[in-house]
Chains A and B, each alone.
Chain A
Amino acid sequence: DVKVTQSSRYLVKRTGEKVFLECVQDMDHENMFWYRQDPGLGLRLIYFSYDVKMKEKGDIPEGYSVSREKKERFSLILESASTNQTSMYLCASSPDRGGGYTFGSGTRLTVV
């Protein structure tokens, strides 16, 4: 069964901490994505990557960065966590640029 695994289901961090959210896929997919989901706002694209060491900004990249050192792993980094980054974070991967995402189970991050 194909899988996208997010390392933490729930995370609580303090304001100002550096936070790493990890995502690993086992499908040899080229493309990986990070979204955040907030009530009433749907899913908003933070960053995505079409290849190893490549990254592109999505619609709301401010306050975030990403790393893709290996094809299967895409990390989202909150350089200095703030309370307005409290959210559900969803990672997805796809084999090509035609959509067809497989989503991870999500990480609910609370910044206090």
Chain B
Amino acid sequence: ELKVEQNPLFLSMQEGKNYTIYCNYSTTSDRLYWYRQDPGKSLESLFVLLSNGAVKQEGRLMASLDTKARLSTLHITAAVHDLSATYFCAVLNYGGSQGNLIFGKGTKLSVKP
């Protein structure tokens, strides 16, 4: 059974600082998504990582995937208040229920001035 773990679950950052969110998963998969959710809103897709070594960047966010370690990271560079949100990673499940995403519990990021 595929399990997805994110850490930390809560992250309070100061503006201008760097930090990394980690996403570990338990069984083989080669497709991983990162989503952002603002309070009271739905989920917005940020990145899809499709292969080992994949790296995607947009603005101050950079995501990478290591399928051998079953690990993805979301790196935040020089955080700004606008990045405050909850971030989810989701891994494609190739098991019994093929084609659905298994989500981590989310990392609630708060960026303070």
Contacts and interface: CB of A to CB of B under 8 A. Distances in A.
Contact of A42 (B33, B44, B97, B103): B103
A94 B101 CA distance: 11
B111 to A, nearest CB: 20
Interface residues of A, number: 26
Interface residues of B, number: 22
A41 B5 CA distance: 11
A33 to B, nearest CB: 6
Contacts, number: 57
A101 interface: yes
Interface string B78-113: 000000000010101000011111111110000000
B12 interface: no
A42 B42 CA distance: 13
Contact of A48 (B42, B100, B103, B104): B100
B48 interface: yes
A40 B103 CA distance: 12
Interface of B: 9, 31, 33, 41-45, 48, 88, 90, 92, 97-106
17 contacts: A31-B99, A35-B103, A42-B106, A43-B88, A44-B103, A45-B97, A98-B92, A99-B31, A99-B33, A99-B99, A101-B33, A101-B43, A102-B45, A103-B43, A103-B44, A104-B42, A106-B41
